[in-house]
Structure 1
Amino acid sequence: MNTQHQSLLDALNACVAACENCASACLQEDDVKMMAPCIALDRDCADICALTARLLSRGSEHAWHLLRECAEICRLCGEECAKHAHAHCQACAAACRRCEEACRQGMTA
């Protein structure tokens, strides 16, 4: 696997971890109902990033089909998390932005 693929895998896996952490932390916030959109996007983003990473790791041609959707969900999740001042949301937003960019670069490779 070349370094570009490794960089993409690193971004995908970091995004999974950040989204899972954010969703778990959001569930501990005082107003969980207000955090529901954030939690839902965190979960969707973690799932699509994990699936994309698994397919990419095994060399599946289908991984490349998922990159566009992965980038889109990362964008949406990052935008939602950026709305919240919580440190876990800000960290997640940053990881999502990095992953979105990595996915977009991967689409052109």
Structure 2
Amino acid sequence: MLDREKQNRENCIAACAAAIAACQACAAGDIRAGTSLCALINLDCIDICTATMNAMARGSEHHGDFCTVCAHICRACATACAAHAQVHEHCAVCMRACEHCASECMKHAKERHL
């Protein structure tokens, strides 16, 4: 059981790291493309994914709360990127990474380790 929990936690951390990388690339592309509103949600997503990844890695008793918020922000970012995904490849990549991160985070939402 603990091995499965550890693997699930590692999957979530990896999804957060992938979303961070995709959002960084997307924000840079958005700034060049003039889609600053999309770049702003990318920055929010980077911040919450970083915080969530850190909470998961240290085994924070509040990691479920971080995951809940992270899933919400990742979904918002994916939605924003979807509006430009047909035109900008960086938005399509970011959309997929954020959708995956939201899915992984929802597996841990509401968990508590006291």
TM-score, length-scaled by structure 2: 0.87
Partner residue, 1:27: 31
Contact 2:38 2:77 in 1 (8 A): yes
Paired residues, number: 105
Partner residue, 1:5: 9
Deviation track 1:3-60 (CA, whole Å, cap 9, x = no partner) reads 000100010110011001100111112xx1xx12100100000110011001111111
1:98 counterpart (97, 100, 105): 100
SS at the partner of 1:93?
Answer: helix
Contact 2:55 2:63 in 1 (8 A): yes
Matches within 5 A, 1:31-70: 32=34, 35-70=35-70
CA RMSD of aligned residues (A): 1.3
Partner residue, 1:14: 18
Stretches of 4+ moved more than 6 A in 1? Answer: none
Percentage of matched positions with identical amino acids:
34
1:108 deviates by 6.2
Matches within 5 A, 1:78-93: 78-84=78-84, 85-93=87-95
